[in-house]
């Protein structure tokens, strides 16, 4: 199979240093910070009404900060363009298949949202929800922040974990596109270690699908769309089973 994504970035000294710093955060900092901040949220959520809002705001700040650094890297690195990190329109002969996969996933997400909302209304457990229960919004302000977090994660995480890490693995490790994408998928999965083993495996599966959409179209557009839809369902559209207010 011929992949549309064909990146051969040249980062330069300063650009490479910045890229390695971002990769180190993605590989080590995000898993550690994620576990620590989620554990803290679980401890504080019941006693502090602002705990979840602070968590959301911290998430927004961190993810847009690393996105700003990726933008700076693209500007300063001599051989790194926006397309090198996936900021391009989809192209290639696999667009029909990629659009079909995206549409199929959207239908599955919509159907599962309806099913899970009915289960929640009946007080039944939602598969996988226990792992992120402390993250789920219950007030209008929390839901607004959750929407912002879902949109932010779709954009910023795809740019870092798909766009930059794949390009860096090609440039620094000399990997071809598929092995580089596998490295990025593994990093993306580990970043969600706070959700436990099931969450890591589920995130890894999602990451593999998103990576497939990326390398087959040369663009992060479709991965971002799917990522946002998944996060909106998980955070916003399906309420906690004990919450019958929505």
CA angle 124, 128, 129 (to 5 degrees): 60
Instruction: Identify whether 210 is part of a domain.
Output: yes
Instruction: Identify whether 7 is part of a domain.
Output: no
| Whole-prediction pTM | 0.94
**Banded pLDDT at 8 (limits 50, 70, 90):** confident
Q: State mean pLDDT over 1-9.
A: 69
pLDDT digits (tens, 9 = 90+) for 73-98: 999 999 999 999 999 999 999 999 99
**Banded pLDDT at 242 (limits 50, 70, 90):** low
Instruction: Identify whether 246 is part of a domain.
Output: no
Q: Which one, of 162, 150, 146, lies nearest residue 84 by Cα?
A: 162
Count of domains forming the chain: 1
Instruction: Identify whether 243 is part of a domain.
Output: no
Q: Which residues contact 56 (CB under 8 A, 6 or more apart)?
A: 142, 145, 146, 148, 149
Average the pLDDT over each of 32-41, 53-62, 102-111, 118-127 and give the range with the smallest value. Answer: 118-127
Instruction: Identify whether 2 is part of a domain.
Output: no
Q: What is the domain range of residue 133?
A: 12-237
**Banded pLDDT at 244 (limits 50, 70, 90):** very low
pLDDT digits (tens, 9 = 90+) for 16-62: 999 999 999 999 999 999 999 999 999 999 899 999 999 999 999 99
pLDDT digits (tens, 9 = 90+) for 170-215: 999 999 999 999 999 999 999 999 999 999 999 999 999 999 999 9
Q: What is the 3-state secondary structure (H, E, C) of 175-210?
A: CCHHHHHHHHHHHHHHCCHHHHHHHHHHHHHHHHHH
Instruction: Identify whether 116 is part of a domain.
Output: yes
Q: Which residues contact 197 (CB under 8 A, 6 or more apart)?
A: none
């Amino acid at each position: 199979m011929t992949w549309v994504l064909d990146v051969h970035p040249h980062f330069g000294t300063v650009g490479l240093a910045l890229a390695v710093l971002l990769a180190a955060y993605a590989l080590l900092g995000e898993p550690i910070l994620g576990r620590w901040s989620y554990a803290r949220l679980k401890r504080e959520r019941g006693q502090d009404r602002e705990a979840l809002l602070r968590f959301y705001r911290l998430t927004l700040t961190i993810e847009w900060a690393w996105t700003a650094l990726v933008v700076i890297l693209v500007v300063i690195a001599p051989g790194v363009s926006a397309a090198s990190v996936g900021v391009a329109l989809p192209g290639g002969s696999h667009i029909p298949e990629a659009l079909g996969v995206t549409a199929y996933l959207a239908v599955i997400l919509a159907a599962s949202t309806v099913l899970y909302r009915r289960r929640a209304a009946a007080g039944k457990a939602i598969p996988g929800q226990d792992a992120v229960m402390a993250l789920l919004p219950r007030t209008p302000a929390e839901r607004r922040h959750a929407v912002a977090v879902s949109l932010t994660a779709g954009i910023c995480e795809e740019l870092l974990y798909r766009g930059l890490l794949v390009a860096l693995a090609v440039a620094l490790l000399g990997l071809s596109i598929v092995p580089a994408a596998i490295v990025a998928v593994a990093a993306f999965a580990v970043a969600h270690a706070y959700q436990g083993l099931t969450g890591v495996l589920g995130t890894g599966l999602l990451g593999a699908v998103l990576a497939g959409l990326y390398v087959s179209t040369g663009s992060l557009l479709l991965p971002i769309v799917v990522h946002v839809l998944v996060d909106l369902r998980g955070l916003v559209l399906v309420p906690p089973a004990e919450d019958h207010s929505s």
